[in-house]
C-alpha cells in the first residue's frame, strides 16, 4: 500500500474529507490530493514527500512515524536537510503548473508574465517570496487560496473593506527579518485558532 492509499484508507475509515485531513495535518488540501494520486504534477513522477510532511501525517493519524513508514510499501522519502522551504511553496508551484501547463505563452505575456520567468520558477530550486507569489496570482486574476489548494474557486474575490488591512498585514509580515517570521506566524496561528472557538 502506498502512502497515498494509506492516507485515503484512514480518511475513509474516519469519514474525513481531504480538506479536513489536510487541516488536521497542517498541510494543504492540494498536497494531500497529490499524495493520494501519487503523482507530482510538475514531474509526472511519483510523489516524494519530505520526512517533515510524513511526520505531520503520522501525527494526525495518531501513529508513530516508524509505523507509518512501515505500513507504506516502497515509499520514497526526501530526507534532505533543506526542510526549511515552506510547504506552501511546493503547493503553489504545483498548482501554478496545473493552471498554466496548457496556457498559450502569448496569453501569459498579455497579463505581464514572461514565459522565461515562469519556466525559471519551475526549473530552478530558488525560493518564491510571498510577495512574488501574490504578484503572479494577481496578474493571473486568481485566488491565492486556490493556488494553495484551499478552495476550488479560481477567481479572485472582489475587493472588500478589509483588503487594505490584509495587504498591510502581508506587507508587514514580508518585511520582517527571518528570525521573527516564525514567531509572527505562530502568533497568527494562535489568533486564528482562538477565533475558531
pLDDT score at 8: 94
Q: 124 and 158: one domain?
A: yes
Per-residue model confidence (pLDDT) at position 80: 45
Q: CB count, 10 Å around CB of 67?
A: 12
Per DSSP, the three-state class of 78 is strand
- 10 Å Cβ neighbour count for 95? 22
Q: Is the pLDDT of residue 90 over 90?
A: no
Q: Which domain holds residue 51?
A: 3-71
Query: Rounded to whole angstroms, how far apart are CA atoms 135 and 163?
Result: 15
pLDDT at 71: 76
Helices 87-100 and 115-123 meet at what angle, rounded to 10? 140
Answer yes or no: are the C-beta atoms of 155 and 141 closer than 8 Å: yes
Q: Once rounded to an integer, what is the mean pLDDT over residues 180-184?
A: 78
Tens-digit pLDDT profile for residues 5-62: 999 999 999 999 999 999 999 888 888 998 899 888 878 888 888 777 888 898 899 8
Same domain, 29 and 56: yes
Of 27, 47, 71, which residue sits at a domain end? 71
β strands within the chain, DSSP E? none
> Which of 106-120, 125-139, 169-183 ranks highest by mean pLDDT?
106-120
Amino acid at each position: 500500500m502506498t502512502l497515498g492509499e494509506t492516507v485515503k484508507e484512514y480518511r475513509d475509515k474516519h469519514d474525513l474529507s481531504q480538506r479536513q485531513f489536510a487541516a488536521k495535518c497542517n498541510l494543504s488540501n492540494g498536497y494531500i490530493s497529490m499524495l493520494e494520486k501519487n503523482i507530482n504534477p510538475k514531474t509526472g513522477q511519483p510523489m516524494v514527500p519530505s520526512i517533515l510532511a510524513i511526520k505531520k501525517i503520522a501525527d494526525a493519524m495518531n501513529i508513530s512515524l516508524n509505523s507509518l513508514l512501515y505500513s507504506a510499501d516502497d515509499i520514497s522519502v526526501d530526507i534532505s536537510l533543506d526542510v526549511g522551504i515552506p510547504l506552501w511553496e511546493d503547493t503553489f508551484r504545483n498548482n501554478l503548473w496545473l493552471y498554466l501547463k496548457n496556457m498559450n505563452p502569448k496569453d501569459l505575456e498579455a497579463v505581464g508574465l514572461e514565459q522565461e520567468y515562469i519556466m525559471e520558477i519551475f526549473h530552478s530550486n530558488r525560493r518564491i517570496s510571498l510577495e512574488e507569489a501574490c504578484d503572479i496570482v494577481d496578474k493571473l486574476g486568481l485566488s491565492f487560496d486556490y493556488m494553495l489548494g484551499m478552495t476550488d474557486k479560481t477567481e479572485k474575490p472582489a475587493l472588500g473593506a478589509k483588503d487594505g488591512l490584509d495587504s498591510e498585514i502581508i506587507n508587514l509580515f514580508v518585511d520582517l527579518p527571518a528570525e521573527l517570521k516564525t514567531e509572527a506566524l505562530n502568533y497568527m496561528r494562535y489568533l486564528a485558532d482562538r477565533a475558531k472557538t
